[in-house]
Amino acid sequence: MHRDGTRNAHTCAADKGKPKEVQRDTLEREAITRRMSQVDFKILVLSGKGGVGKSTVAVNLAVSLARKGKSVGLLDIDIHGPSVPRLLGLENRPVEATKAGLLPVFYGENLKVMSIGFLLQSRQDAVIWRGPMKFAAIRQFLKDVEWGELDYLIIDSPPGTGDEPLSVAQLIPYADGAIVVTTPQEVAVADVRRCVTFCRQLNLRVLGVIENMSGLVCPRCGATIEVFQSGGGKRMAGEMGLPFLGSVPLDPQIAEVSDAGTPFAQAAADGLAARAFERAIAPILALGREDETPETKSQSEEQGEEEKEMGTVRIAVPLANGRLAMHFGHCEQFALIDADQERKTILDKQLVAAPDHQPGLLPRWLGERGVSVVIAGGMGGRALSLFGQHGIEVRVGAPSEEPERLVALYLEGSLSSGGNICDH
């Protein structure tokens, strides 16, 4: 349940034994439910294929959230390849057992970590377990780790759609969603499609897709070089109707700082890769806004304004025939453009098909995709009010130009606005 008690009804239902369920299983399931009730949002990081940097993504998502002041747990259930302790420089840390359960290892002030890697004598140890033993270990982690109250629990799952990710998806009550990681190549994207299908069959919401290893950051000039093909993850997300959370380039600094046990979201916070994670956590941060009171909404809007002034911003431009659609509600697609306000530069652009028209849908739909600014030609008064309620700034009366041109003018502070041509 959320800390405000909004999930009490679910928790009570989960406490009832299922038909033909033995008492031990019922008690353990109830224990997991009680433990997870202290976590506001539970998010799985999945991939359909190994070697895509899923653990690196999970670690840096968790660190990015913790750097926002959120209380975060990071659970590594990659039984055969627990790399989280190495990536955080936490190897050989002992795990303390108390009457309350296993105590996670702290990384900084806001991040707690648990991994089977902490329980191995050395990194050379191999875990040779069959399915039932792996299921039991995952269940024990979920049941016995004393996380305390958390804003987010990020769960680094093993690759594929086998026993381990299936166990977590079935054991965690009311998981809030999954983030799927891929690389640009089609061989990886094909496996990720199956991972998305896996989530949908389990009614697990996919929060978005991250394309990792997308281009190489030149160590001399800082430009991004396309060593392999790029854009496969973005195309797949568009085809499957999923939010695309951004591309993370290969950066020589990533390998260097990761081997040293420091996440690059912390060690190289000004780099392209770290800024990509700042954008990627937007839909995670947006998860709690539907449950906020007017007072906390006001606080989060103020925080959002501060973040907008200091860092990146995602701008939505409704399009028709590649240019600004003059009637907002009748656009064919949206250009979602990530921009650095301080440097006044465009970082990334993606095109997503507009959803089927439903009254009041677009403000929430764009908010879930991390949009904080909309550039529009015309917009009705009710829609303007709804965007305001979601903390999204709207610029109306913009000319029918290409989206990059409009965003450049916005960043320069010279976007001229005519009259709002829509008045209904």
250 close to 218: Cβ distance less than 8 angstroms: no
| pLDDT mean across residues, the chain | 77
pLDDT of residue 162: 67
Distance of alpha carbon 6 from alpha carbon 2, whole angstroms: 6
319 close to 106: Cβ distance less than 8 angstroms: no
Average pLDDT over residues 217-223: 60
pLDDT of residue 404: 94
Q: To 10 degrees, what angle do helices 361-368 and 381-389 make?
A: 40
75 close to 39: Cβ distance less than 8 angstroms: no
Task: Considering only CA atoms, give the Rg of the chain.
Answer: 22
The CATH homologous superfamily to which domain 296-412 belongs is Dinitrogenase iron-molybdenum cofactor biosynthesis domain (3.30.420.130)
What does each C-alpha distance from 339 to 75, 222, 409, 416 come to in angstroms? 32, 17, 12, 19
- Phi and psi (nearest 5°) for 206? -90, 115
Distance of alpha carbon 383 from alpha carbon 362, whole angstroms: 9
Strand pairing partners for 225? 216
Average pLDDT over residues 104-120: 88
Distance of alpha carbon 71 from alpha carbon 73, whole angstroms: 7
pLDDT of residue 99 exceeding 60:
yes
**What are the residue ranges spanned by the domains of the chain?**
8-291, 296-412
pLDDT of residue 141: 82
Lowest mean pLDDT of 190-199, 257-266, 346-355, name the range.
257-266
58 close to 169: Cβ distance less than 8 angstroms: no
Q: How confident is the model at residue 159 (pLDDT cuts 50, 70, 90)?
A: confident
Is the entire prediction scored with pTM above 0.75?
A: no
CATH fold for the domain made of 8-291: Rossmann fold (3.40.50)
pLDDT of residue 139: 83
How many of the other CB atoms lie within 10 Å of CB of 257? 20
